[in-house]
């Protein structure tokens, strides 16, 4: 399924867009142009969901909703929903190097409400059609957010003070929908804008030879519309508070393990329902992305389950996951799946067997390979064709940080010898060449490694709060010289695929529907997407 190709990992929020955060506007289209000029097949983004506590895209309020902070304001101006003056008035002295989420959370919603007030009849038809297509999740998500933010002062689901609403008593749900109708409509509007802009960007990328790799976190957030809508699918109590949570046991990197806090699945119930929810989830993501990376793949073979009352992940147990039964159900419904697996961490023979049987490419990361004493599996000479391999990732240190700040003297010397470099400035490029030369079908790097950046450019430090998910690349870093250098390396190691220009394409937002299109929308049957 996967050819010998390459790509770049960078989140949408890291783009050098104006207005304080990377968005789905011009900077995103410019980055697609950069990838095309650099001869890259893939752009890997992180999850695009509506983030909650800690701003992590792996902890979202919904497995389906998009992050409204990525909505491009300049496109809204082009659509006549905002004025330039209104956008300027909502500005703050934002940093070009990091996202300031608290300031955005305060300034962005009032501005988007002004746009909502300008929805005309034509757009309302489009919103109604969008809402109908996404009714499997959007009604519960928008009600969940309206209740959480407008009625319960941001409290977690299990702390909601109205037990009947929390427990989804039909009469209470009906009353809540009537009371919060306008708030629900506003949040539907935000999702309409997000997916309209994302779909246009995705189409543009595909037309320019770039495919999107999107991440699926294996677990959902405990405080989410998913848990509220489908509590029986998770090990939660009657109050929706998790009883058992996910994590990983102690290892080389942590003496106490990692306690993630996500509710684990009740896989018995999933199997009884023929994995219906997972089929919906994968189907939804296939509409967003060309390739899906499943985060923490090993948890589908067996997962580390810890009591929700525990203070760390030391005392837990390994529990059996669904294994191939899940993938058989998915393939029966959706056909052959373009999935890659994040299989890092504690990997057993059973996990390796599951990966081999699934046929999905596994994952290796160069920075984990600088081991003087062992022939490490993360070194490129040990890679196999059916792999997706990285110089570094969003969860790790960059090449430069690893070698200069973390490796001991012996490891540093080994890294210099293996990469055939002794200069920090060239380290990122040396790493890219080394990985690109490997037999792996898919090779990936980060903008941090392309630019040979260090610790100050790290995206995330796992199991920590504060300061994560904020890094942004400077506009000047995405330039023709860099694209040309990456393209030359890609051609040298036979990963380049010639670009075929599309017959017709546009950089502009999707145009408003014509009268004929509006009539067609009216006639559409009420089917789920």
Query: Is pLDDT above 60 for 426?
Result: yes
Q: Please tell me the predicted confidence (pLDDT) of residue 474.
A: 96
Q: Please tell me the predicted confidence (pLDDT) of residue 453.
A: 94
Compute how many other C-beta atoms are within 10 angstroms of the C-beta atom of residue 307. Answer: 13
- Pairwise pLDDT comparison (1 vs 511), residue with the higher score: 1
CB proximity list for 503: less than 8 A, separation 6 or greater: none
Which of these, 429, 343, 62, lies nearest to 225 by C-alpha position? 62
> Which of 79-93, 234-248, 443-457, 508-522 is the least confident region?
508-522
d(CA 231, CA 191): 24
Query: Is pLDDT above 80 for 518?
Result: no
Query: Is pLDDT above 90 for 507?
Result: no
Q: Please tell me the predicted confidence (pLDDT) of residue 251.
A: 77
Which of these, 309, 136, 141, 293, lies nearest to 218 by C-alpha position? 293
Query: Is pLDDT above 90 for 64?
Result: yes
pLDDT in tens, 331-375: 999 999 999 999 998 889 999 999 999 999 999 999 999 999 989
pLDDT in tens, 460-503: 988 777 889 999 999 999 999 999 999 999 999 999 987 665 54
Q: Please tell me the predicted confidence (pLDDT) of residue 527.
A: 39
pLDDT in tens, 229-270: 999 999 999 999 999 999 999 876 678 888 999 999 999 999
What is the rounded average pLDDT of the residues 298-325? Answer: 96
Q: Please tell me the predicted confidence (pLDDT) of residue 261.
A: 92
Query: Is pLDDT above 50 for 452?
Result: yes
pLDDT in tens, 386-398: 999 999 999 999 9
Angle at 35 between CA 297 and CA 385, to 5 degrees: 40
d(CA 284, CA 464): 30
Query: Is pLDDT above 50 for 528?
Result: no
Per-residue DSSP letter, 49: B
| Residue 293 token pair | 């990376």
CB proximity list for 157: less than 8 A, separation 6 or greater: 144, 148, 166, 222, 223, 224, 227, 228, 240
At 85 the three-state DSSP class reads helix
| Number of DSSP helices (H) and strands (E) in the chain, helices first | 20, 12
- CA gyration radius for the chain? 23
Beta bridge partners of 39: none
Name the average pLDDT for the chain: 92
Q: Please tell me the predicted confidence (pLDDT) of residue 233.
A: 98
Catalytic residues: 295, 342, 395
Q: Please tell me the predicted confidence (pLDDT) of residue 517.
A: 42
Which of these, 61, 68, 67, lies nearest to 222 by C-alpha position? 61
Q: Please tell me the predicted confidence (pLDDT) of residue 424.
A: 66
Q: Please tell me the predicted confidence (pLDDT) of residue 368.
A: 95
- Pairwise pLDDT comparison (525 vs 496), residue with the higher score: 496
Q: Kindly indicate the confidence band of residue 425, based on its pLDDT and cuts at 50, 70 and 90.
A: low
Query: Is pLDDT above 80 for 145?
Result: yes
The stretches of 64-180 forming alpha helices (DSSP H) are 73-78, 84-89, 101-116, 121-133, 138-146, 163-166, 170-179
- Residues of the chain above pLDDT 90, percent: 87
Query: Is pLDDT above 50 for 126?
Result: yes
């Amino acid at each position: 399924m996967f050819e010998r190709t390459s790509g770049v990992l960078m989140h949408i929020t890291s783009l050098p867009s104006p207005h304080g955060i990377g968005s789905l506007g011009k900077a995103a289209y410019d980055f697609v142009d950069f990838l095309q000029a650099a001869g890259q097949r893939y752009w890997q983004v992180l999850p695009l969901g509506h983030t909650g506590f800690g701003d992590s895209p792996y902890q979202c309020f919904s497995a389906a909703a998009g992050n409204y902070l990525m909505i491009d304001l300049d496109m809204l101006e082009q659509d006549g929903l905002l004025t330039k003056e209104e956008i300027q008035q909502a500005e703050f002295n934002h940093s070009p190097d990091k996202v300031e989420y608290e300031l955005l959370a305060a300034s962005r919603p009032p501005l988007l409400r002004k746009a909502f007030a300008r929805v005309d009849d034509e757009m309302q038809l489009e919103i109604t059609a969008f809402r109908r297509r996404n009714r499997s999740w959007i009604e519960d998500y928008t009600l969940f957010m309206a209740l959480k933010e407008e009625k319960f002062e941001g409290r977690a689901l299990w702390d909601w003070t109205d037990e009947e609403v929390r427990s989804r008593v039909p009469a209470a749900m009906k009353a809540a929908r009537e009371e919060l109708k306008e708030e629900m409509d506003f949040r539907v509007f935000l999702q309409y804008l997000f997916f309209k802009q994302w779909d246009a960007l995705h189409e543009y990328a595909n037309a320019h030879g770039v495919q999107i790799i999107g991440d699926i976190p294996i677990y959902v957030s405990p405080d989410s519309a998913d848990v509220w809508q489908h509590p029986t699918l998770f090990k939660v109590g009657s109050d929706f508070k998790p009883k058992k949570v996910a994590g990983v046991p102690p290892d080389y990197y942590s003496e106490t393990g990692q306690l993630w806090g996500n509710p684990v699945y009740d896989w018995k119930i999933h199997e009884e329902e023929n994995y219906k929810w997972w089929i919906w989830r994968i189907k939804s993501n296939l509409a967003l992305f060309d390739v899906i990376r499943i985060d923490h793949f090993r948890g589908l073979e067996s997962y580390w389950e810890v009591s929700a009352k525990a203070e760390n992940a030391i005392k837990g147990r390994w529990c059996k996951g669904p294994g191939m039964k899940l993938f058989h159900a998915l393939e029966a419904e959706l056909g052959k799946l373009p999935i890659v697996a994040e299989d890092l961490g504690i990997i057993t023979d059973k996990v390796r067997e599951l990966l081999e049987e699934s046929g999905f490419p596994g994952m290796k990361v160069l920075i984990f390979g600088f081991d003087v004493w062992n022939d490490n599996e993360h070194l490129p000479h040990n890679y196999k064709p059916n792999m997706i391999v990285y110089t570094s990732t969003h969860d790790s240190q960059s090449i430069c940080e690893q070698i200069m700040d973390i490796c001991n003297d012996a490891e540093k010397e080994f890294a210099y010898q293996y990469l055939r470099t002794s200069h920090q400035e060239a380290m990122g490029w040396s790493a890219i060449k080394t990985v690109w030369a490997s037999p792996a079908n898919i090779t990936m790097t980060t903008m941090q490694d392309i630019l040979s950046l260090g610790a100050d450019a790290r995206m995330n430090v796992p199991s920590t709060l504060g300061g994560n998910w904020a890094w942004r690349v400077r506009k000047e870093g995405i330039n023709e010289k860099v694209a040309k250098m990456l393209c030359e390396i890609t051609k040298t190691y036979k990963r380049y695929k010639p670009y075929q220009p599309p017959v017709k394409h546009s950089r502009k937002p999707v145009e408003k529907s014509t009268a004929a299109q509006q009539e067609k929308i009216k006639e559409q049957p009420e089917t789920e997407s």
